[in-house]
Structure 1
Amino acid sequence: MRGPYAVFLLLFGLRLSIATTICFSLNLHNSEVRCIEEERQALLKFKKGLQDDYGSWLSSWGSHEGDCCKWEGIECSNRTGDHVVKLVLRNKHLSSEISSSLLGLQHLTYLDLSFNDFFILPKFIGSLTKLQYLNLSTSFISGTIPPQLGNLSSLISLDLSSNFFSGTIPPQLGNLSSLISLDLSVNSFSGTITPQLGNLSSLIYLDLSYNLLEDSIPEMFGNMEALVHLDLCCNMLEGSILEAFGNMVALVHLDLSSNKLQGAIPDLSKLSLLRELHLSNNQLNGSLDNVLGKHFKLQTLYVSFNSFKAVITETHLSNFSSLRMMDLSFNSDLSLKFSPDWVPPFYLDILLLGSCKLGLAFPQWLQTQKKISWLDISNTRISDTIPNWFWDLSSNMRFLNISHNQISGTIPLQWFLTSYIKVYARDVSYNHFSGPLPHLNSDAILLNLSNNLFQGTITFICGTNRSSLEYLNLSNNLLFGELPECWENKMALSYLNLANNNLSGRIPESFGRICSKENHVKSLHFQNNNFIGELPVALMNCSSLRIIDFGENKLFGRIPAWIGTSLKNLVVLRVPSNMFVGSIPLELCQLTSLQILDLSNNNISGTIPRCLKNFTAMAQKDLKDIDLQFYLLLFLDHYISPNNNRFFKHPYIENAFVNTKGLHLVYDKILGLLKVIDLSRNKLKGEIPSEITSLVGLIGLNLSGNLLTGIIPWSIGRLERLESLDLSSNHLSSVIPPSLATLSFLGYLNLSNNNLSGRIPTGTQLQSFNASSYASNQYLCGMPLLKMCLGDETPQGPQIGNKHREGNIQEHAHSHGHIWFYTSIAMGFIVGFWGVCGSLVLKSSWRHAYFQFLDRMGDRLYVTIAINMAKVLRNFKTHCKAEDQEATSA
């Protein structure tokens, strides 16, 4: 059988044959079989506990004269005494809990309740010991797997996928010794992979993908030599790829992608049956020698988003005649070097080589790939023109990405009209294509022709009655003319970018009709063109809009109030450099999700609304990134896996121009982190409302070039995350608030051309800015300005080094201390001397009294001293006589 999934079809045929064998071996329902009354009652009780959303699925239950073997979804076997052996209620939109009445069906071998809403997996299921097939997938079941399930020793197939199970995988599942197929994918299982699963020696199919499993891959997988299909994709597994995988000789499908695996690929040369190898989105490195050149029967090889280093030549792929899908993209050290006349032995369906190195010439060997439907050779350093044969080859491709190269030439006008299949995407952006735009294929979902040299009008958009186009990017070209009046036909558009062209005229009212109930337009980029007139009122129907950018045009009128009342999901609103007049509508304050508001360089007057404090998103300190990327979900049908159809999520990053830090910058990947208000270069008057400081998540604030008066809000220090502040060219007065010096993230400040006064507050930030940040404020002083404040000895210029400046400050303070010390002594002496002596000179009575007081004090002092001296002499003489008597007696 041809095709990349022949082995898988055989595998799933085997699984189907297992169930079929079960049924036929039990001689299922025939005309002579009648159900047992006890089991009939059990089924009726089970039905009674169910909620049938459609009310008709179980209408047959209770009819046929009580023969439950004839009811829908029921099969019986006369081999077991007319017992019910099979119950299938798949996708019947039933809800409620699984009733314990099923315990009345002890001979049940096949139970399928998948695609319903049962919410809980009951423990009693483990008592249905004859079960061989159990399928409860996609049933909204949460909680943990009850360990009682390990009692089902006869179980051959267990499918609990696509639910909300959590916790660890119970080790009791290792008791299911007869198990052939186990699917626990798309849940929230965490912890390590239970090593008891290694006891399942009969297991052929194991899928644990899309969970939260972590730690390393257990060694027990080396003992599971019967495994044909192993899928551990999309977990958090670490460590290296087990060498033991090389012993799993029966493996056909191995998927270890989207984990955290490291190291090199081990020797897998023994896996002679391997057809699919998925290792993408890990941290693997080294060469691909253990894969290329050995596994000649590989049909699918996905190793993208790793760090492999290799030079791949035709020798590596010369024996891969079965290869159908190859993804080597985003391994920046991978080079492909093929001779120009090489003819590959394979015919690919999918080839993804984004960000690999292909060389300057366009790869000629692609001419042989007549069946290719997905091709990505973006950012591969091609600098060439595209040969004519490529346009015929690519016309039927579902997905084509040749962007970010230096490809030149023109594109045939009919290129998009020759496809006979569903076209998902065409991306030729960031090249040097010129000439007119090609005609649009009505089936295209994504079309990106941006950043080229295309010329002419965009009337091609009217070529179809109703397009499925979701993403259209024509920005950064040389397009001109007016917008056509046919937008009502483009009902699927979610993203439209016409920026940086020479388009002119009014935006037609019909443009607003792209916003319909079944459509969700999210992003409009019209900046840097020559559009005139007012914004069309019909845009108020675009309630899902998240980004509006009409900046750098010639639009006029008032800022529409309906933007605030109808477009409440806006995250970015940019209309700078137009001719809007009037005041800022208070209705804009209803945009609680707004993170970027740019109304700069218009003729807007009035005051800044105090209700800006209602911008809830700007009032959050957290740096949670708002996802502003556009994702194209492409259904891959059978291209990934025949049993598990997947979507291919292709991101296109949003961008916006933001005037911050004195520069006009474009932000893309971190756009969702920005919180900026720019109202500069208008005619706004009045004070800066203090309420604006409640927007504590602001990163940039620009109010420059207005007529604002009053003071800088004293609470400006609340804006702790502020990186850029521009209040220049206004009429602000008074001092700079001290709290401004506490903004540790501030990297750009401009307060020039105001009426500020006083000393610039000292702090870690404000003295580090250039003097131009404070220029033209007549009464402002202090560092880093040359103008000294009162009490300063010398001007402190920005040219003085930090250490020298600190030394001058210390010396200046020391000298001031000495001056004040000696001055105070002199003043004290003068005041004390003249306070006493001056009064005696001027008043004679005080002088006489003063001298009489001195005479009396002198006499009293003389008498006191004379008496005391006489006492001392008398005591001395007495002491001497006593010593003489002692000496004589001795």
Structure 2
Amino acid sequence: MCNPLLSSPYYVRVAAILLVFLFVNSPICPAGFTCQDNERQALFQFKIGLKDPGNRLSSWDVSVTTDCCLWKGVSCDNRTGHVIGLDLHNDHNEHQHRYQEQSVSDDRWALGGELSPCLLAIEHLTTLDLSGNYFGNMLIPRFLGSFKQLATLRLSRAGFGGRIPHQLGNLLSLHQLDLSNNGHSLLLDDCWWLSNLTSLQHLDLSFVNFGIAANWLEALNALHSILEIRLSQCGLLNGIPSSFQHLNLTSLVTLDLSDNYSNSTLPTWLFDLKSLQNLFLRGNYFYGSIPASIGNMSSLTVLELSDRFSLRGSIPGALGNLCKLQQLDLTWSPLRQNLSDMKEIFSGCIKNSLTKLSLRGASLSGYLPEWIGDFQNLKILDLSMNSLSGKLPSSLGRLLSLQQLSLYGNELNGDVPETIGWLSELVILKLGLNSFKGGLSENFFANLTKLKNLGLSSTSLALNVRPDWKPLFRLEYINMSSCILGPQFPSWIKTQESLSSLHMYDVNISDSIPDWFWNFSSSLEFIDLSHNGIRGMLPDLSELADSKLTYVDLSCNLLEGTVPQFPKSISYLFLSNNSFSGLIPPGIHKTMPKLQYLFLSKNNLSGSIPLFPCNLEELIALDLSNNHLSGELPDCWKGSSNLQDLDFSQNEISGQIPISISHLTSLEHLILRGNRLSGGLPSSLDSCRAMVLLDLSYNQLSGEITWMDRSFSNLKFLNLRANMFSGNLPPLSQLNSLRILDLSRNNFSGNIPKSYGNLRAMSYSLNHVPSETASYSHVAMNLEINGFYIQFSNVLNLVAAIDLSKNHLLGPIPEELTDLYGLRFLNLSGNNLTGHIPDKINLLKVLEALDLSSNNLSGAIPPSFGQLNFLSYMNLSYNNLSGRIPISGQLSTFDSTIYVGNQGLCGIPLHECQDKVSIKDEAHLTSPEIWLHLSAELVMFMLLL
């Protein structure tokens, strides 16, 4: 609220006397009018309500100057002295992408706090700009609708939330309204107030949640003066209308409806906007075809139809007549056309105007035609991620204005033509993921002096240059992985002083890393030299001054010595599959405090695990597996930890699982396989509710497990193989996400719970795995199938398996297990199971491996086995099965070894079944008297026949 004392006559008189005194005693009087007294007071009160951590408004002080027109961000009418503009936008957030959602600013220069209604005293305000600040999800004040002369209102990226006040519809003089990028918490519940803004020319509501506002197009159609409408990522209710009558937006120049995920036909009314120059429709689910009427949009300069389109038919030839079109973006639009067949389209006047052509991921086939070199003004050509084949045409060398050439991810082959080296304006060259052959010489790069981004990965190209080559380009990004650069370390890298990202894995380097490498570029952030033969030791880099290095991958090399130290800036460090030895440095949390990922697996490290993981506040994943570590697990974990992945497997760690691990509430993967852990499984682990994978196999853990059913709702993979757990099998029926269960080689007893048939995630077939399941590229589980261990990592989510083998289980196989329709592997061997094999076994339609051997199962093999079309491994040996072996389906492909140890079985592939009744008596078998004398065994045999 405003202070009434400040508006009292007494205060005004005192302020006036003070003002005169200051002006009389000032050696230099300001020229022209100074700001009005009441407006200065209003600004001062407005400042009091603001939070200004960067002290940006330090000039708003009468001790500096009483003329508020000289205050930072304040502008006045030079005739009247009235304040007409208030520009307090935050310059420090302007690096944000225009369409990057920003609802929270962590910039120390951002203003915040409250917006005082005292601002209403500035009656002549025409411009108010608060963009780029952060007002803590505060409502946009209603009083802003009272500024009758306001022409520009910018509140973008300022952290406003809640409903947009309808009072903004009173701003009849408004020319520009920008409420964009406040996060989707800013809600537009009705659009009719927008129709009042008849003077509006520029409207940006990107990222505003339109909620129930279904009348947006009708409201905007009333804005006869509108030039620009941006409604990107607004969640437009009911999508974007396919048709609309009486369209009045005749002056519209720019329309952005991108990323609204509208699922409808391509709106026809768009092509009636004859004055439109810029049309952005990316990120929708439009289907249908592009109409020929697009040729009537003669003013069009930018057309973006990229992403998620399901277009039918070909691009209309009329598109080639858009003589002003400069940018055409059909990225990820499934055109399914042969590129060489599109000559008619691109032979029109469009070939003279286009500066950008992006058909990335557009399902194009065929070869790259010679006419592609006719686009004399083209600056960007992106044909990547298609199915283009054949050789590159030499005509590419005619694109002398080209700045970006992206052809990666195709099936192109042959040599890279030297004419590409003629493109002296080229900044980005991406040819990776193709089948090119041969090499690139120094002459090829001689004219590419402006090149900053070079992508040649997975092409098998060789770089044929002298060791002392000094290229004229200054690259910022290099990706030459799976090319041929070795065996020496490429010394020309030293000349790339602006390099920030270097990808050179699998390039046949068998040299050591030179000392100059670690500080040749002050911009270097990303290094991947993995999967080479790099040898030698690494220096101590912990004191590397001003380093920006955040990502280093040197895994799968021949590096040796102690674990190296890296600069404090490092966040991702991958050193697995080397020959590092000795102890793990205990002070890693001090030398590398920002570590998020640390992988040291498959080295020769020894000693105990230091306590540093407990003190790395940002640590997300730690992998120390496959070393020679001993001692006990750290018992220092804190509840504030962000740790998600912890892998200490295949070491020599002993002792018990520490209770403090239960504090890791974000833990998703805990892998302690192949150690010497003892004791029980702590029930406190049920606090780890985020757990997805728990692998404690091949240890010496013991005791009963009775608590697991009440937690681990996210658990997908559970492996307790080869321990000494006892008692009944643990209750698991509530683990609805579980897809792999391995409890084999323990001392569990009792029956298999019928509730295991309720493991819902195992009922998904291969084609219906839930979409929310993710890839697990750095974690793996082993399953034993037919005596072989198979490791699953990237395809973990595609596997559904149960292994309860080699325990002391009793009773029958629960028929409920046949409800697990997605089961691929089932192993119940080596127990004391009795009863029959369930007749409904055929319901497990995707079953690939079944092992029921070494039990006491009896009865016949159900004929339904023949319906298991994916069954590639089966073992029924050493049971008490009897009767004729069915020979249908996959059963006909197995040999006799899978049936041995079942004395009552007969038929192919075992010996022939012997009838126990002569042929002459067969006519009397239907007699009741005869049936009374048949044994039960013979009755079963006849029934099977």
Aligned partner of 2:116 in structure 1 is: none
CA contact (8 A) 2:550 2:571 kept: yes
Report how far residue 141 of structure 1 moved: 1.4
Q: Secondary structure of the equivalent of 1:389?
A: helix
Report how far residue 197 of structure 1 moved: 3.6
Equivalent position to 1:172, from 242, 261, 269: 269
Q: Secondary structure of the equivalent of 1:487?
A: helix
- Provide closer, same or farther for how the CA distance between residues 500 and 413 of structure 1 changes in structure 2, counting only shifts above 3 A: same
Q: Secondary structure of the equivalent of 1:316?
A: helix
Aligned partner of 2:360 in structure 1 is: 257
Equivalent position to 2:281, from 177, 184, 187: 184
Report how far residue 594 of structure 1 moved: 0.8
Alignment of 1:617-636 (within 5 A): 617-625=761-769
Equivalent position to 2:428, from 278, 300, 303: 300
Q: Give the Cα separation in 1 of the matches to 2:557 and 2:769.
A: 30
Aligned partner of 1:364 in structure 2 is: 491
CA contact (8 A) 1:224 1:248 kept: no
- Aligned residue type for 1:623: N
Aligned partner of 1:135 in structure 2 is: 230
Structure 2 residue 817 is matched with structure 1 residue 714: no
Q: Secondary structure of the equivalent of 1:765?
A: helix
- Provide closer, same or farther for how the CA distance between residues 229 and 531 of structure 1 changes in structure 2, counting only shifts above 3 A: farther
Gaps of 5+ in 2: 1-77, 86-122, 124-134, 156-170, 398-419, 644-662, 926-945
Structure 2 residue 554 is matched with structure 1 residue 412: no
Q: Give the Cα separation in 1 of the matches to 2:469 and 2:633.
A: 52
Q: Give the Cα separation in 2 of the matches to 1:249 and 1:136.
A: 31
Aligned partner of 1:667 in structure 2 is: 792
Report how far residue 231 of structure 1 moved: 3.0
Aligned partner of 1:144 in structure 2 is: 240
Report how far residue 784 of structure 1 moved: 1.8
Q: Secondary structure of the equivalent of 1:372?
A: coil
Aligned partner of 1:235 in structure 2 is: 333
Report how far residue 614 of structure 1 moved: 1.6
Aligned partner of 1:157 in structure 2 is: 254
Aligned partner of 2:749 in structure 1 is: 605
CA contact (8 A) 1:284 1:308 kept: no
Structure 2 residue 700 is matched with structure 1 residue 569: no
Equivalent position to 2:673, from 518, 524, 527: 527
CA contact (8 A) 2:801 2:824 kept: yes
Q: Give the Cα separation in 1 of the matches to 2:355 and 2:797.
A: 43
Q: Give the Cα separation in 1 of the matches to 2:607 and 2:430.
A: 45
Structure 2 residue 447 is matched with structure 1 residue 319: yes
CA contact (8 A) 2:426 2:448 kept: yes
CA deviation string 1:573-602 (max 9, x = no partner): 12222333333221x222111111112223
Q: Give the Cα separation in 2 of the matches to 1:236 and 1:593.
A: 35
CA deviation string 1:691-742 (max 9, x = no partner): 2222122111111222333333333333222111112222333333333343
CA deviation string 1:528-564 (max 9, x = no partner): 3444554565643332222222323x24123654544
- Provide closer, same or farther for how the CA distance between residues 462 and 590 of structure 1 changes in structure 2, counting only shifts above 3 A: farther
CA contact (8 A) 1:493 1:519 kept: no
Q: Give the Cα separation in 2 of the matches to 1:295 and 1:547.
A: 51
Structure 2 residue 506 is matched with structure 1 residue 403: no
- Aligned residue type for 2:188: S
Give the length in aligned residue pairs. Answer: 727
Aligned partner of 1:286 in structure 2 is: 390
Aligned partner of 1:429 in structure 2 is: 555
CA contact (8 A) 2:799 2:824 kept: yes
Q: Give the Cα separation in 1 of the matches to 2:456 and 2:233.
A: 33
Report how far residue 359 of structure 1 moved: 4.9
Structure 2 residue 674 is matched with structure 1 residue 551: no
- Aligned residue type for 1:144: I
Q: Give the Cα separation in 2 of the matches to 1:176 and 1:822.
A: 90
Between stretches 670-679 and 537-546, larger displacement belongs to 537-546
Report how far residue 353 of structure 1 moved: 2.3
Q: Give the Cα separation in 2 of the matches to 1:557 and 1:469.
A: 35
CA deviation string 1:36-84 (max 9, x = no partner): xxxx9xxxxxxxxxxx9956413323546xx35389559xxxxxx9844
CA contact (8 A) 1:500 1:528 kept: no
Aligned partner of 2:23 in structure 1 is: none
- Aligned residue type for 2:180: R
CA contact (8 A) 1:94 1:117 kept: yes
- Point out which structure has higher relative CO (alpha carbons under 8 A, 6+ apart): 1
Aligned partner of 1:760 in structure 2 is: 885
- Aligned residue type for 2:915: G
- Provide closer, same or farther for how the CA distance between residues 572 and 372 of structure 1 changes in structure 2, counting only shifts above 3 A: same
- Aligned residue type for 1:366: I
Structure 2 residue 589 is matched with structure 1 residue 463: yes
Report how far residue 422 of structure 1 moved: 5.4
Q: Secondary structure of the equivalent of 2:607?
A: strand
Q: Give the Cα separation in 1 of the matches to 2:293 and 2:924.
A: 92
Aligned partner of 1:454 in structure 2 is: 580
> Which of the pair has more CA radius of gyration?
1
Between stretches 712-721 and 92-101, larger displacement belongs to 92-101
- Provide closer, same or farther for how the CA distance between residues 263 and 294 of structure 1 changes in structure 2, counting only shifts above 3 A: farther
- Aligned residue type for 1:403: S
Alignment of 1:715-754 (within 5 A): 715-754=840-879
Report how far residue 611 of structure 1 moved: 1.2
- Aligned residue type for 1:106: T
CA contact (8 A) 1:378 1:405 kept: yes
CA contact (8 A) 1:684 1:706 kept: yes
Q: Secondary structure of the equivalent of 2:469?
A: coil
Equivalent position to 1:542, from 688, 710, 735: 688
Alignment of 1:647-686 (within 5 A): 652=777, 654-686=779-811
Equivalent position to 1:115, from 204, 207, 224: 207
Q: Give the Cα separation in 2 of the matches to 1:558 and 1:536.
A: 10
CA contact (8 A) 2:505 2:530 kept: yes
- Aligned residue type for 1:379: D
Aligned partner of 2:474 in structure 1 is: 347
Alpha-carbon RMSD across the aligned residues, in angstroms, is: 3.9
Q: Secondary structure of the equivalent of 2:565?
A: coil
- Provide closer, same or farther for how the CA distance between residues 701 and 199 of structure 1 changes in structure 2, counting only shifts above 3 A: same
- Aligned residue type for 2:280: D
CA deviation string 1:160-218 (max 9, x = no partner): 22323332333433343333332222232333344444444443333333232435444
Aligned partner of 1:375 in structure 2 is: 502
Equivalent position to 2:827, from 693, 698, 702: 702
Q: Give the Cα separation in 2 of the matches to 1:731 and 1:134.
A: 75
Structure 2 residue 587 is matched with structure 1 residue 483: no
- Aligned residue type for 2:281: L
CA contact (8 A) 1:496 1:523 kept: no
Q: Give the Cα separation in 1 of the matches to 2:867 and 2:172.
A: 84
Structure 2 residue 727 is matched with structure 1 residue 582: yes
Q: When the two structures are superposed, what TM-score results if normalisation uses the length of structure 1?
A: 0.73
CA contact (8 A) 1:596 1:675 kept: yes
Equivalent position to 2:197, from 94, 105, 109: 105
Q: Give the Cα separation in 2 of the matches to 1:754 and 1:163.
A: 62
Report how far residue 123 of structure 1 moved: 2.6
Report how far residue 446 of structure 1 moved: 3.3
- Aligned residue type for 2:750: G
